[in-house]
Amino acid sequence: MATLGSSLAGTTRAEGGGPPLSAVLALAAGQAFLLLFVLLWWERTDIAAPAWQLGLYLATLVAAFGLSRLAGWIAEHPAGPVVRFLPAAFTMILTLLAAEALLRAYQVPAGLIPTPTEVLTVLWQARDVLLQDTFQTFVMEAVIGFLIGVGVALPVSLLIARSGFLQRGMMPYAAAFSSIPIPALAPVFVHMFGLDWQSKAAVVAVTVFFPVVVNVVRGLLEIDPRLLDLMRSYAASDRQIFAKARVPNALPFFFNALKLGTTLAMIGAIVGEFFGATGKGLGFRIQIEAGRFGFDIVWAAIIVASTLGIAWFGLVAWLERRFTAWHVSLRE
């Protein structure tokens, strides 16, 4: 807990006191008990006695109680980003420790639920295969399909926003098609474009296309009429109104669609591989290894896919803050 104390040092000086001692002690004691059990049962194959099992549950509850009080204290006091992240970090540590300890206590077979350490071990051992799968799924399918979908959606959105006929004739269908379930599209596109990455990229492009169209058109059209009247009173041309009013108004809608698109892209690429692949890809790896009860590799692939999805979403969110910092939703 020394890291916690040093991280909170600046805050405690400013406030004249540190976090509740009982919270820190409860969190430290609970996690220490879980860690001690994991070390004791590291190579044992027998099921832990009921007293040990009860102790694990109590230790988890004690640590969770301390963590909740610590999180509440941090929420009530000014703190930097590192300190504000501590509750999330300790939650992940507690979850992993509790899962590791309980799975070892009950000796759950790895073919059913692998322990976190087994998943991390196979993640390192199979890194070369997972890197190849990642390149196939993320770069060749998700990113390329995402760029195609967004690249086609933007000019279509501008065209629809300029035409009242297209707004009334196409927007209802765009809204309807945006709710098409991905598993319904994947087998169709796999049969149309083959087993390679092109079919999954097509699935991603279609699933990203419609949300971008719907959001961008809304952003271009749903603008305050008073702002339009003000710009026209200054003799602004249609081009100036578009550049100075409609485009800035559409940017938050556009970035919301992009953030949604990052999630849909990863889902579309992985689900698409369930219906056909050439022997590479995270979705292919998950499907094959699940059939072999190799759930350690399955979870390793899930971790890789989740990490990429979170990082991609975070990149789009950073770009959103960079280009729409003026928007009311991003103001402190």
Q: Where are the domains of the chain?
A: 2-108, 125-326
Count Cβ neighbours within 10 Å for each residue of 3-27 and write b for 16 or more, e otherwise: ebeeebeebeeeeeebbeeebbebb
Q: What radius of gyration do the chain's Cα atoms show?
A: 26
Amino acid 14 reads A
234: tokens are 């200054």
| pLDDT score, position 331 | 55
pLDDT digit string (tens) for 20-57? 888 889 999 999 999 999 999 998 888 999 999 999 99
| pLDDT score, position 327 | 63
| pLDDT score, position 159 | 87
| pLDDT score, position 11 | 44
| pLDDT score, position 329 | 60
Nearest to 56 by CA among 116, 101, 108: 101
Q: Can you tell me the distance from the alpha carbon of 227 to that of 59, in angstroms, rounded to the nearest whole number? A: 59
| pLDDT score, position 95 | 93
CA angle 241, 243, 244 (to 5 degrees): 65
Question: Distance of CA 171 to CAs 43, 175, 178, 215, 296, Å?
Answer: 61, 6, 11, 11, 45
Q: How far is CA 258 from the centre of its chain?
A: 13
Q: Which residues of the chain, if any, have pLDDT below 50?
A: 1-16
- The class level of CATH for 125-326 reads mainly alpha
| pLDDT score, position 18 | 65
Residue for token pair 């809304």: 218
| pLDDT score, position 250 | 86
| pLDDT score, position 122 | 92
Burial of residue 281 (CB within 10 Å: 0-12, 13-18, 19+) is buried
Contact 207, 265 (CB under 8 A): yes
| pLDDT score, position 12 | 42
Amino acid 148 reads I
